[in-house]
Amino acid sequence: MEGSAEWASRGLSPCPASIPQPGKVRVIDLEEDVQLTAALKRHFPHPTTRKYQADLANRLYELLSDGNRDVVVEAPTGLGKTAAVYAAVAKYAEENNLRVLWLTRTASQVKHVSLETGMLPLYGRKLLCLHEVIAQIDQRRFNAACRATRYAHRCPYWPGKPRAVGRPMTVSELKDVGRRTLTCPYEVLTISMPTARGLVATHRQLGFLGWLLAKWRWSKERTILVLDEAQHVVSEALSMVKDSISLRTLKRAAREARKYGFNEISSELERAANHYESLLPGDGEAEVDDVLPSYTELREAGFEIQELKLRENLAPASHVLTVADFKASLGGSRPLLVREGRSLRLEAMADPKEVLEAVYDKWRATVTMSATVSAELLERLVGREMTLLRAGWPFGDNLSAAVVKGLTTKFEKRDEKLYSDAAWLLKLVAGRRSLIFLPSHEVLEEVLKRADAEVLAEKQGMTQEEVDAIARAFEVDSKALVSVFNGRLAEGIDLSAELVLLIGVPFAAPTPRREKLLRRLKELLGDEDSARLHGLVLPAVYSAVQAAGRAIRGPEDNALVLLVDDRYRRLLPLLPR
């Protein structure tokens, strides 16, 4: 390895890393070279299979046919999980007069799955909106504003003359249809739903399943749910956040209420915002009293404000209604106040067990797909037996790993030596096609100050356009790219590289919310060690794995991953195979 003498002079030494993973649930390890059964070939969307693909499809179909309700698929990116899982669930659904609901994280993933499988994509109403004014409203206020505009007959595209589509279509294609026919593209999709044997949508639909099933004219009991990128669903449940609202929105709601004559509500909102601002002078979290106006008052005022805005020929988007929605999410509980720099927000908390039970309840069968989700935790929280189908690494020896000893990013040990050593590592790899991930933006900034190296770096608060620009620059340049664990560049994006440095273990900071989660997991899992494993340790390990996975996106990529923190030695048994 380059610079090995200097590594030693700094007390840093690379050592080989084995990567096993024990499991307590029923585990079936998949085989590499198996023939796809004849019964599944008609539903498999490709002429040939990759390693583990055929066995994944065959085994999943067998498990579903044998009455297994809940299956977890653990497989790395690039294996071809989508095609294999679809072949199995489509065949099983066909034989039993069932339908398939496939939920994934983003609209771009919805498009990919739809085009690969032929299932109908269900994009969000905002993404498809053609109204020049309403389409610009933020997601939080969009649905209410769109509804008010439609009911006031102020949308030239709604409902139009929607006709069912006969094939999967992209967002741009649906918008083109809408423009040509003066029809809401969303209505084109919804009128196509009743005859669709499979739907693809984002995880956001988990909050609107009653609506979706009504439009589909179907039921949970006759549906196979496929949760793709399921680590995000589990992570959201473990965050214990049901809803959130910024203090900036509270102040906007106060101004809006005063403008339209609701002076008492305006004063209450102003007092609430000032009160919450005074409670946390620095970064942190605290459970606080709910001093917001009542839900009924906010809701009625919000609806009237919408009507008044329509009369003024303005978009009927109301910040007061946004506060009403948040008040409803609280359900009588106390909010959590969170400060991060200049940002202050209130959060409504949710119980992780209740959230996941609601996700998995009543389906005919579920398939959970992720390389980084604990089947054991799901089994304990959902209360049903999970079967784990586990694939190995499909790309041979093109990924290797080593632990680097002599450095830790523990909160209490973040000192000048840590920043200096990390900066030295960054300078060492700056001229190579490499990815460097750090625990936080604060650490990233301190390291960059000392590195004196020309690199690409993620910045806090970047727009999607800025993220895309950095990714494009990385594709054409040999500069190192520096980011943070769980950042915009740490997952969901392809950044093929020859070297990855994971500097530090991305453990969550100790906060009241984290302590509350650990106490709840201890109640559910029975002991403190299990609570810490699933509430603190595994989320950190999975974040590191997600970051490392950016470098290998296919069989043609090769990368070395350096795990730069003493604590990784103890975490090796938890890493995927």
With a cut of 70, which residues of the chain have pLDDT below it?
Answer: 1-23, 394-398, 407-415, 464, 492-493, 552-555, 576-577
Structural domain contains residue 22: no
Helix H or strand E segment including 365: strand 365-369
Judgement on whether residues 67 and 206 belong to the same structural domain of the protein? yes
Residues 427 and 570 in one domain: yes
Strand order across the beta sheet in which 365-369 lies: 26-29, 387-390, 70-74, 365-369, 223-227, 99-104, 198-202, 120-121
Both 332 and 219 in a single domain? Answer: no
Q: What's the half-sphere exposure (Cβ side, CA atoms, 13 Å) at 28?
A: 19
| Residue 333 phi, psi dihedral angles, 5° rounding | -85, 170
Domain shared by 65 and 112, yes or no: yes
Task: Please provide residue 485's backbone torsions phi and psi, each rounded to the nearest 5 degrees.
Answer: -55, 140
Residues 220 and 84 in one domain: yes
231 C-beta neighbours (distance < 10 Å), count = 22
pLDDT attached to residue 467:
78
Residue where one domain finishes, among candidates 177, 193, 209: 193
Nearest to 55 by CA among 24, 79, 90: 79
Instruction: Provide the number of structural domains found in the chain.
Output: 4
295 within a domain of the structure (yes/no):
yes
- What is the pLDDT at residue 268? 98
Residue 16, pLDDT score: 42
Is residue 186, in this structure, part of any structural domain at all? yes
Are residues 269 and 332 located together in one domain of the fold?
A: yes
- Is 215 contained in some domain? yes
DSSP codes, 240-275: TEEEEEEHHHHHHHHHHHHHTT-HHHHHHHHHHHHH
Query: What pLDDT score was predicted for residue 566?
Result: 85
Q: What element of type H or E holds 286?
A: strand 284-287
315 and 253 part of one domain = yes
Of 491, 492, 496, which is closest to residue 434 (Cα–Cα)? 496
The domain in which residue 451 lies consists of 4-16+395-574
Residue 11: left if φ>0, alpha if ψ -120 to 50, beta else—which one?
left
98 and 223 Cβ atoms separated by less than 8 Å: yes
Mapping DSSP to helix (H, G, I), strand (E, B) and coil, where does residue 168 land? coil
Query: What digits encode the pLDDT tens for the residues 341-381?
Result: 788 999 999 999 999 999 999 999 999 999 888 999 999 99
Domain closes at, from 368, 391, 414: 391
Q: In whole angstroms, what is the distance from residue 207 CA to residue 228 CA?
A: 16
* Residue type at 169 in one-letter notation: M
For residues 305 and 257, give the distance between their C-alpha atoms in angstroms, rounded to a whole number. 8
Closest CA to 44 of 3, 15, 85, 94: 85
- pLDDT for 283: 81
**pLDDT of res. 19:** 33
How distant, in Å, are the alpha carbons of 265, 477, 478, 493, 543 from that of 473?
49, 6, 9, 14, 24
Tell me, yes or no, whether 524 and 404 share the same domain.
yes
Q: Which pLDDT does position 396 carry in this prediction? A: 63
pLDDT at position 469 is 84
What interhelical angle do 107-117 and 81-95 show, nearest 10? 60
Same domain for 160 and 303? no
Any idea what the CATH number is for the domain that residue 419 is in? 3.40.50.300
Asked if the structure places residue 289 within a domain, the reply is: yes
All residues at 6 or more sequence positions from 24 whose CB lies less than 8 Å from its CB, including other chains: 376
Instruction: Mark which of 134, 163, 193 sits at the end of a domain.
Output: 193
Tokens read off for 349? 């908390």
502 with 556, same domain: the answer is: yes
CATH number at residue 339: 1.10.275.40
Q: Are 336 and 365 in a shared domain?
A: no
Residue 24 within a domain? no
Is residue 26, in this structure, part of any structural domain at all?
no
Does 25 map to a domain? Answer: no
Q: Cα dist. 112→16, 76, 278 in Å?
A: 37, 17, 47
Instruction: Say whether both 482 and 380 belong to one domain.
Output: no
